[in-house]
Amino acid sequence: MRHVSQLIAVISCLVSLGSVASGGSRSPEPIFIQHCSGCHGLNGDGGSATSGIPRFRDFVGAFAGDELGRTYVLHVPGIANTSLDDETIATVVNYVMTTWGGTSLPKQFRAFTKGEVEARRRYSVSDIVALRREVVARLRARGISTATYPWP
C-alpha cells in the first residue's frame, strides 16, 4: 500500500510540473511532496523519534502564532536550502499550516505572504536548533506544546 501512495505522489508531482510547463500555476500539495515529504513524510508525520524531523499534525501551527516561530519556520533546512521563490514558499508553508496545523493553528491564523517570506529569510540564523529551543520555550511559557524533538 505504501508503494501505491508513493506512486500517486510521484504522478501528482509530474502532473503539477506539466501544468507549470504549460503556463499553469503549481498547487502546493505536489510541491510539498517534491520538496518536503522526503523528511516530513506524505502525511506530515515526521521522522523517527530520534531523527530530528518533528511531526506536523496538531503541532506545526503553533509556530505560526509566534513572531519568532514564524521566522524559525522559514529557516528550517528544507526551506533555507530551497531554490523555490518566496511566493511559492509562502504557498507551501500555508498549505502545511492549514493541512496539519489542526488544533495548534491559531484561531486568527495569519497566512504567510511573499513579502513576509522575503523579509524573514533575510534574517541570519546561525543555529537552527538553538532558535527552535528558544521558540519552544516561548510557546511553553504560554502553555502551548510542540512536537517532540530529540536534540538537546
**Distance, CA of 46 to CA of 77 (rounded, Å):** 14
| pLDDT tens digits for range 97-138 | 999 999 999 999 999 999 999 999 999 999 999 999 999 999
**pTM (global) more than 0.85:** no
pLDDT for residue 10: 39
Low-confidence residues in the chain, pLDDT < 50: 2-24
pLDDT for residue 8: 43
pLDDT for residue 24: 44
User: Residue 12, Cα to own-chain centre: how many angstroms?
Assistant: 19
Name the residue ranges covered by the structural domains of the chain.
Answer: 37-141
Give me the phi and psi of 75, to 5 degrees please.
-120, 5
pLDDT for residue 105: 96
DSSP 71-104: HHHTTSHHHHT----HHHHHHHHHHHHHHH-GGG
The CATH H-level superfamily of 37-141 is Cytochrome c-like domain (1.10.760.10)
pLDDT for residue 25: 57
pLDDT for residue 4: 43
pLDDT for residue 47: 79
Question: Locate cell 511553553: which residue?
Answer: 140
